[in-house]
Amino acid sequence: MNHRTYLALAIPLIISTITTPLLGIVDMAVVGQLPNPAYIGGVAVGTIIFNTMYWLFGFLRVSTSGFAAQAQGANDERQQALALIRPLFIAFIIGISFLILQLPILNLALAFIRPSSDVFEFASDYFSIRIWGAPFSLMNYVVMGWLIGRARIKLTLTLQIFMNVINIILTVLFVNVFLWGVSGVAAATLLAEIIAFALSLFIIIKLLPKSFSFPSKSEIMDPVPFKKMVVMNRDLMIRTFCLLVVFNLFTAKGAMYGTETLAANAILIQIHYLMAYAFDGLANASSIYVGKAIGSNNKVLYNKTLSLSCQWAFFAAVLITGIFYLCKGLIIPIFTQKQTVIELIDTYEGWIILFPISASFGLVLYGVFTGATEAKPIRNSMIYALIVFLLVLYISIPTLQNHGLWLAFILFSVGRSIFLAMYIPSLNRKLFN
């Protein structure tokens, strides 16, 4: 493997993964053109609630990708099918649970964030509609992870683009034509998620071999692989919980400085998501190659993947920073035309410029560890980074206010990179020594 073959896999994955935050970005951009900044705040708070719910179970995609890649490397079709069926069942159960518990979830989230009364109302409307897509959204996570793990990149890209095109069309239709406001934004996202899952099922049926027979309950619940999946998912869930603490505290603290600051922070965070998901494409490429290396016991492939992962983490950080710096004057107006919000974004945008280099290695090395299905180092490094965030937040907020909030976030990102990189030597020894 060389730079060319790594990028041949990574670039389509970057395009695929970068479409994921477009669901939130399209929502934000459409309501950002409406006159009241509370629309942006309402969608931002609603999006945070769903990010909290879905990210907490984001392990469904990540672990599915790792196990599918290893089964692919071992050329085991039965294990490839089980790598899909096991997490798909779990995703369905979790999604139904969200539907049953939707009112307590909404009340608890809004009590924690404590938005202003107009933002509160819009966030409630957004949540009460989009929540019905929970089972479909989580099962889409599993399907995406499975396709990525099997290196079916064109299919993954097709699904992502299809879902986002549907979302864009419906959002513009519901908000600008039907004038449904925030409710239209939520309805568009809900329908996009449902339609995407229907297409996913069709793709899965086509990919399964003709001789495929559905596994028995005992095969699905085989204690050895099932325990390994549960342990990995537990550690990834703790990792995601740490992330959610950071982003929820970030939103809650930002809301203290008023609706317009909340809106400015929300737009910058959406830009951060675009950057982070670009790195996630590299991480997915690393995860696939590491999974194949382990499945086929290929140490040379593993070492080359690790080397290329680090190199492209740096190159991508420089490239992403440069693109944002040169194009920020074109990017920001996409989200809002309100001058007071734009002025606040100008005040805080320097922190986003620091994000790519501070987070790049942590985000890309994350793929190396998930491909190896070794989640304990990911969990531990995230706990340490969260401690850094909380300490800096406590010290800096009283004097630096919203700048202190961004300082804590950037140092958290630096911590993610440093603490995870420290586990690379022990991972090397465990896998091939």
Instruction: Please report, for the chain, the start and end positions of each structural domain, with discontinuous segments joined by +.
Output: 3-432
Per-residue confidence in pLDDT tens, the chain, 433 aa: 788 888 888 888 787 777 665 666 677 778 777 767 778 888 878 887 887 787 778 778 877 888 888 888 777 777 788 888 888 988 999 999 999 999 999 999 888 888 888 888 889 999 999 999 999 999 998 998 888 888 787 888 888 888 888 988 999 899 888 888 889 989 998 999 999 999 998 888 887 776 667 777 777 777 777 777 778 888 988 998 898 889 888 888 888 888 888 888 888 888 888 888 889 889 988 988 998 888 888 889 999 999 999 999 999 999 999 999 888 888 888 777 788 888 888 888 889 999 999 999 999 999 999 888 888 999 999 999 999 999 999 999 888 889 999 999 999 999 999 999 999 999 988 887 6
Specify whether the CB–CB gap between 59 and 232 falls below 8 A. yes
3-state secondary structure of 257: coil
Which residues are CB-contacts of 1 (< 8 A; sequence separation ≥ 6)? 289, 301, 304, 305, 308
Neighbours of 3 (CB within 10 A): 12
Which residues are CB-contacts of 97 (< 8 A; sequence separation ≥ 6)? none
Neighbours of 74 (CB within 10 A): 16
The alpha carbon dihedral of 137, 174, 164, 355 has a sign of negative
Output the six-digit token pair for 287: 């995860």
Q: pTM to 2 decimals?
A: 0.76
Output the six-digit token pair for 116: 């202003």
172 class by beta-carbon count within 10 Å (0-12 exposed, 13-18 middle, 19+ buried): middle
Specify whether the CB–CB gap between 74 and 295 falls below 8 A. yes
Measured distance CA(284)–CA(257) in Å, rounded? 37
Closest CA to 80 of 190, 207, 181: 207
Residue written as tokens 């706990």?
383
What residue ranges in 106-245 does DSSP mark as E strands? none
Measured distance CA(114)–CA(116) in Å, rounded? 7
409 class by beta-carbon count within 10 Å (0-12 exposed, 13-18 middle, 19+ buried): buried
Specify whether the CB–CB gap between 418 and 288 falls below 8 A. no
Q: How far is CA 270 from the centre of its chain?
A: 11
Measured distance CA(423)–CA(406) in Å, rounded? 27
The three-point CA angle 209-212-218 to 5° equals 145
Measured distance CA(99)–CA(56) in Å, rounded? 16
